[in-house]
Amino acid sequence: MDRLLVVRHEPNDTLGVARWAFEEEGLRLRILDAWAEERWPSPREFAGVVLMGGAMNVDQVDRHPYLGLERDLVRRAIDEDLPIIGVCLGAQLMARALGQPVVRAPIRRCGFFPVYPTEDALGDPVGAAFAPGDLEFHWNEDTFDLPSGATLLASGTDGAVEAYRLGARAWGIAFHPEVDRPELAGWIESAGDTLEPVWHRAPEDVKREADRLLPAHQERGRNLFRQLARSIRTVPIH
């Protein structure tokens, strides 16, 4: 089984370097647009599940009813020991499905911030992708504590959860290792006039920062998703 279910939450999500890495490793992607899907497939139809990012809060089920369906998908995948990867909103959805509240962070973050792998990250496909202090791209306003039973793989300067693993096959990544230059340009364009008043970043500053930091960031992201793809492919077929 080499099909991967990838859940998108916004039309401008290109999957960045993750798409390239997964396909290079021989995984066929079934893209599910959460806002448009009427019938959600069973996770057992796939080798693994990937939940991408989005601007909504995980508890806005009244505005985005699919978030409730997605939590059910997460719980089923975890109960069935199916590989699952959550990126930004995806990591928050996983935490929420595990009973961990997701709350507004003290400050909104848009830009590159350092992450610090823990000792438990050694040998893990996610944790091993980063060196202490690597600058990873963040665009988020919500945060959460480590879900019960999860292993912390990386934290931020402020101690925030940056990456975690549940068991051996479920990973949550609170930042955006997938983002590449075209995707970031689309996000900046979508933010429009809200970027400076809401996120306190001028578009030109974010672009200059990206010019300097994105090349190494993209290479780490490719390596990360390649390693995750290899981990998924080693899982026995159901």
pLDDT in tens, 129-180: 999 999 999 999 999 999 999 999 999 999 999 999 999 889 999 999 999 9
pLDDT in tens, 41-86: 999 999 999 999 999 999 999 999 999 999 999 999 999 899 999 9
CA distances from 162 to 137, 146, 157, 165, 175 (A): 11, 9, 10, 11, 7
Q: How confident is the model at residue 123 (pLDDT cuts 50, 70, 90)?
A: confident
Does CATH number 3.40.50.880 belong to domain 3-233?
yes
Q: What is the pLDDT of residue 219?
A: 96
CA–CA–CA angle 14, 147, 177 (5° rounding): 25
Q: Which of 214, 208, 216 is nearest to 130 (CA)?
A: 216
- Token pair 């796939």 is found at 46
pLDDT for 236 beyond 60: no
Q: Where are the domains of the chain?
A: 3-233
Task: Give the residue-averaged pLDDT of 174-197.
Answer: 95
Q: How confident is the model at residue 2 (pLDDT cuts 50, 70, 90)?
A: confident
Q: What is the pLDDT of residue 237?
A: 45
Q: What is the pLDDT of residue 235?
A: 56
Q: How confident is the model at residue 1 (pLDDT cuts 50, 70, 90)?
A: low
Q: What is the pLDDT of residue 20?
A: 93
Q: What is the pLDDT of residue 210?
A: 97
* Helix residue ranges per DSSP H, 42-162: 66-79, 89-97
**DSSP H or E stretch at residue 141:** strand 134-144
